[in-house]
Chains A and B, each alone.
Chain A
Amino acid sequence: MKGKFVAGGAVIAAALAYMIYAGVTQSAVYFVTPSELRAAPVVGKAYRLGGLVQPGSLRWEPRSLDLSFALSDGKATVPVRHKGTPPDLFGESRGAVVEGSWTADGYFKASLILAKHSEEYKAPHDGGTTLGKDLIRTLKGDGRQ
């Protein structure tokens, strides 16, 4: 009796080990910096690329939903393209992590953008308020037309 259970357990353990192995090899995502990616880019491999969005590089076309920017780590920059709205915390001179792959056409095709959120304590600043007031003004003005 005991033998059957031991054999059953071994089969399950082997199946699980195989599933985990297959799962890891198929969905592994490599964390790289722009310089690391530039040094040895592999087309089609899944990367998670982290860096700073270079000032002046951000292009956003609302009609076609084309987003392009460059991620930099100070030593190297990587052009990134994405289809879709930039996330809330995304912007120039801010940290961002993108997931996707390197293409043969020489750019990084991002399927997912994760913006970095700062949790540090800081006093409330005026920027947000001005932006909000500005929005209220333009939108209300627009409403009266």
Chain B
Amino acid sequence: MDPGVVLSVRHLAIDYMTRRGPVHSVRDVSFDLHKGETLAVIGESGSGKTTMAVSLVRLSPRAARITKGEILYRTADDEIVDVRSLGTEELRQYRWSELAMVFQAALNAFNPVITIWEQFHDTGQAHGYGDSKKIRQRADELLRLVHLEPDRVLRAYPHELSGGMRQRILIAMSLMLEPQVVVLDEPTTALDILTQRQIIDLLGDLKRRLGFSLVFISHDLSIAAELADRVITMYSGTVVERASVQDLFYRPRHPYSVGLLQAVPRVSGELGSVSSIGGSPPDLVHLPPGCTYEPRCPFRIPECKEAEPALLAVDLPDHDARCIRWKEVAATVGSKEVPIAVKAAAAS
């Protein structure tokens, strides 16, 4: 593991056991998270992004089984641990204090019948933060950090707060034990535009001040464009592309990333040629032998059906795509810093 890497996921595979047979929900997912880096995992529903994220804190549902791979983590003391082999007590230490997870749907993440103060208190106690006074001090400090008034918020029950406030409280709580890594699942989904903007700005600001590493899962490309340093695109359970944010948005090398970018209309600038991806994702129980995107892919050739390609290094540094046709994609997309929809409009 490279010294600058804090979290390294290697060849991770997760199946869900169902009556139809195992659902290969996560397949051969590998990525490194560097210290202080913001990594966005983008993909549509069913791409395996949440399943992968939840496995990072070992909170997968009982039907899920990790069949392969490693989740390596470098502690603050520079020790490398495999999250998969942690015992109960070690796992408790690891969660929150090393890696904290903020779940999707801010309402469900709280216990609805206790106040925000009690939620802070429970979390603090469970992780041995100290006495009530110390927890209260920390809660006050954290809530101010996310621009909330502690006296007002701590007395409230979750339902009395707006979605944006709840999301900010969850972010504040996740920082209680100063974790090195924060994982956010769909941090701004279901929030209004102006509230979403506050959360995005808050995350950027907190990261600059506290220097933690951030992984966030989103189906919304625009949040990735806004916050990420690096982006991984997931499709049918696996990573199809890994690149810097600039490369992914202007110089994608996997046809699915290209399709996704062309499917999202923008508010500013030229609209360009916007279009959907035809077809639908494969059945994760009965996967085709070749590339899983092949049936929908405009770049496909007969060889694509033969075997699932590996993540291949492309013509740009630190950039991989799971596509044997990346050169053809590169020839079409080029390297200019122009949005894909605008390039497509120019080409047609």
A, B from the same assembly: no
A contacts, CB < 8 Å to B: none
B contacts, CB < 8 Å to A: none
